[in-house]
Structures are given as structure tokens and as C-alpha cells.
Amino acid sequence: MGSLAAFKQPEYIGENRCWPCTVGNSAILLACCLVLVLLSPLFSLIVLLAGMGTIALRGYLVPYTPELTARIRERIDRTPDPPTGSLATADGEELGEHIVEDLLESGVVLPDGERLLLDEGFREAWRAEMEQLRALSNEALVEEVESTVQAMTVELLVADRPLIALTGPEGGEFWVSRPVAIAEVGADRALSSATTMAPRYRLAAPRALRSFLDRCPACETATEETTLGQCCGNLRTTGSGVVLVCPSCDEWLYRFPAA
């Protein structure tokens, strides 16, 4: 039993099992056994059982699978994440504590133990604003974004899906998707009616409010939380890879901070 326990790799089995790697290694095992069965059915069966046992106890069969997949992920992770930018200026994140205090004082968010909840009255007002914006063409939405951010240059980029590019007065370009633009312009409008926040704070607040989206701003599909890169070779921690997505639009709506 001691040798069996030493053979196991708990970091790659049970709740930690990487199913893509398990399936991939199982496919390789099966292919090898199909070749071996032509030479010796008995030997092929022995290899199949040994291989299945190895995958069950260690999480993979091919040596160095986690290291190999980590190298692949290094290449993948060099590419930019799907756009989850914000209409807020770069200093918006630095205002986080002040913004939360303002949202609590105005009743937009409510304390619930260690969590914060979005006030249902504000949610309905926000949804009403998003419904109006949803009906706009991409070009008309760009005009609404431009009037909201004011000091920035706003352009529509048309690729596989529409993106809105924003450039600050001192340079520096970032992109937002159509759902994010609808959510943030709508939140800014709703906040202007519900709070007395200064424009600087009000424009930064929608970035955090997107975490409360329970429906996609662009199509009304229920949102889902998902973890990126669930693979034994993943270099990202689970906390840093949790995002709120629309499964219909296949768009990221919010990326949660690392735990």
C-alpha cells in the first residue's frame, strides 16, 4: 500500500484532475493498444489495464504531461485576453474604496454579511437604460460612448465582432466589447439619477458594477461564471481566471480579481 500511495499524484487526480489531459492521454493509450493488438492481444490488454491504472492514479500516462502543457499555455497566455476593458480612465481602479463608499451611501449596493448585493430598484433602472442602448446600431452606440467619456477619442473597430476602441488624450488605447459598452453607459446613466457622485467617480463605478450583471447587456441571456484554463499545465491560479461571461454572445463581461 505504501508503494501505491507513493505512486499516486494527488495534485493531478480527484478534484484536481484535468479532464482534457485525461482524455488526451486515454486516446493515446487506446491508439497504442489498437496497434499492439495486431501483434499480441494479451500484451495489448496488459498495456491497456496498466495504462488505465496509471491514468487513474497519476492523472496522466505520457511522461511530463503537466510540463508540456505548461509550455503550451505559456505561448497561449502571451496573447491578449478577450477585451474586458472599461470606459473608465486608468485611475479608476485606484478610486475603488471611495467608489464603494459612495455606492453604499447612495443605496446602490447593499451590505449582506461579507458580501455586497445590488439594490433591485437600481438593477431595474440599469436594465431599462441598457434596453434602450441595446436597440442602437454600433455607430449610434459609439456616439453614446463618446458623449459619456468626453475627453477620449472613440472609434468603432469591425472585425469578427464589433469592438469600440478608446484613446486617451495622452495616448494609450484600449478596447471594450459592445456588451461592456452597453453595460457601462447604461450604468453611468442610472447612477446619474440615483446618486450625486462626481463624474470622475461615476464613470469609474460601472467597472465594478459589471460584476453584478445577471443577464447579458446585449442579448439578455443569463450570465455564467467560468474558470479559465482548467488544465494541469495551467499557469494561472483559479482565482485569477474566474470570469463572468455571456454563453450566447461568447463575450467576457467581467474578470474577477485574483483571490
- Residue 9 is predicted with a pLDDT of 74
| Residue ranges per structural domain of the chain | 2-63, 90-218
Please name the helix (run of DSSP H) or strand (run of DSSP E) that holds residue 242, with its range, or none: strand 242-246
Split at pLDDT 50, 70, 90, the class of 181 is: very high
**190 DSSP 8-state letter:** H
When pLDDT is averaged across residues 214-236 and rounded to a whole number, the result is 75
The alpha carbon of residue 35 and the mean position of all alpha carbons in its chain are separated, in whole angstroms, by 42
Whole-model pTM: value is 0.66
